Structure 1
Amino acid sequence: MGRKRKGRVISGWLVVDKPAGMTSTSVVNKVRWALQAKKAGHAGTLDPEATGVLAVALGEATKTVPYITDALKAYEFSVRLGQATNTDDAEGEVIAESDARPDDEAIKAELGAFLGDIMQVPPKFSAVKIDGQRAYKLARDGEDIELTARPLWVEELVLSDRPDADHAVLEMTCGKGGYVRSIARDLGQALGCHGHVQWLRRIWSGPFEAKDGLSIEHIDAMAHSPELDTYLRPLEEGLADLPMVNCTPEGAAKLRNGNPGMVFASDVEYGDECWAALDGQAVAVGRFKAGELHPSRVFNTSTEG
Structure 2
Amino acid sequence: MARRRRRGRAITGWIVLDKPVGMTSAEGVAAVKKLLDAQKAGHAGTLDPLADGILPIGLGRATKLMPWLVSASKEYVFTMIWGAETTTDDCEGEVLETSDHIPAEEELRAVLPRFVGRILQRPPRFSAVKIDGERAYERARAGEDIDARLTPREVEIHSLELIAHEPAERISRLKMVCGKGTYVRALVRDLARALQSRGHLGYLRRTRVGPFSEEEAVTLDRLREADPAERDSFVLPMTTALADIPALAVTDDEARRLLTGQTIRLPTETEGTMLLRNLARAPVALVEVHGGQARLVKNLATPMSRR
The interval holding the TM-score normalised by the smaller chain is over 0.9
Cα pair distance change 1:261/1:249, threshold 3 Å: farther
Query: Do structure 1's residue 167 and structure 2's residue 171 form an aligned pair?
Result: yes
Tell me the amino acid that sits aligned with residue 18 of structure 1.
K
Tell me the amino acid that sits aligned with residue 239 of structure 1.
L
The 2-side partners of 1:14 and 1:241 are apart by 18
Displacement of 1:221 in angstroms is 2.2
Aligned 8 A contact 1:246 1:265 in 2 = no
1:117-136 equivalence runs, <5 A: 117-136=118-137
Tell me the amino acid that sits aligned with residue 176 of structure 1.
K
Between stretches 155-164 and 201-210, larger displacement belongs to 155-164
Between stretches 28-37 and 292-301, larger displacement belongs to 292-301
Displacement of 1:263 in angstroms is 6.0
The 2-side partners of 1:290 and 1:154 are apart by 31
Cα shift readout 1:119-176 (whole Å, capped 9, x = no counterpart)? 1111111111112211111111111112111111111111111244300001111111
Tell me the amino acid that sits aligned with residue 177 of structure 1.
G
Between stretches 230-239 and 214-223, larger displacement belongs to 214-223
Aligned 8 A contact 2:282 2:301 in 1 = no
Aligned 8 A contact 2:268 2:292 in 1 = no
Aligned 8 A contact 1:15 1:54 in 2 = yes
Partner of 1:195: 199
Displacement of 1:264 in angstroms is 4.2
The 1-side partners of 2:292 and 2:96 are apart by 60
Displacement of 1:260 in angstroms is 2.8
TM-score by length of 2: 0.92
Aligned 8 A contact 2:212 2:241 in 1 = no
Aligned 8 A contact 2:16 2:54 in 1 = yes
Tell me the amino acid that sits aligned with residue 20 of structure 2.
P
Give percent identity, aligned residues only.
41
Report the count of equivalent residues: 300
Out of 254, 259, 262, which is 2:261 matched to? 259
1:235-246 equivalence runs, <5 A: 235-246=238-249
Q: Which segments of 5 or more consecutive residues in structure 1 lack a partner in the other structure?
A: none
TM-score by length of 1: 0.92
The 2-side partners of 1:54 and 1:163 are apart by 30
Displacement of 1:303 in angstroms is 6.7
The 2-side partners of 1:18 and 1:252 are apart by 38
Between stretches 106-115 and 233-242, larger displacement belongs to 233-242
Cα pair distance change 1:262/1:247, threshold 3 Å: farther
- Aligned residue for 1:236, secondary structure, equals helix
Partner of 2:22: 21
1:144-163 equivalence runs, <5 A: 144-145=145-146, 146-163=149-166
Cα pair distance change 1:231/1:220, threshold 3 Å: same
Cα pair distance change 1:291/1:96, threshold 3 Å: closer
Cα shift readout 1:5-48 (whole Å, capped 9, x = no counterpart)? 42211111110111100011111111111111111111111110
- Aligned residue for 1:202, secondary structure, equals strand
Tell me the amino acid that sits aligned with residue 256 of structure 2.
A
Tell me the amino acid that sits aligned with residue 152 of structure 1.
V
Displacement of 1:239 in angstroms is 1.6
- Aligned residue for 1:64, secondary structure, equals helix
Displacement of 1:72 in angstroms is 1.3
Partner of 1:106: 107
Aligned 8 A contact 2:283 2:301 in 1 = no
Between stretches 2-11 and 14-23, larger displacement belongs to 2-11
Cα pair distance change 1:62/1:150, threshold 3 Å: same
RMSD: 1.9
Displacement of 1:281 in angstroms is 2.0
Aligned 8 A contact 2:266 2:294 in 1 = no
Partner of 2:229: 226
The 1-side partners of 2:288 and 2:236 are apart by 25
Cα pair distance change 1:113/1:248, threshold 3 Å: same
Displacement of 1:295 in angstroms is 1.0
Partner of 1:181: 185
Partner of 2:53: 52
Aligned 8 A contact 2:273 2:287 in 1 = yes
Displacement of 1:293 in angstroms is 2.7
Displacement of 1:290 in angstroms is 5.9
Q: Which segments of 5 or more consecutive residues in structure 2 lack a partner in the other structure?
A: none
Cα pair distance change 1:290/1:169, threshold 3 Å: closer
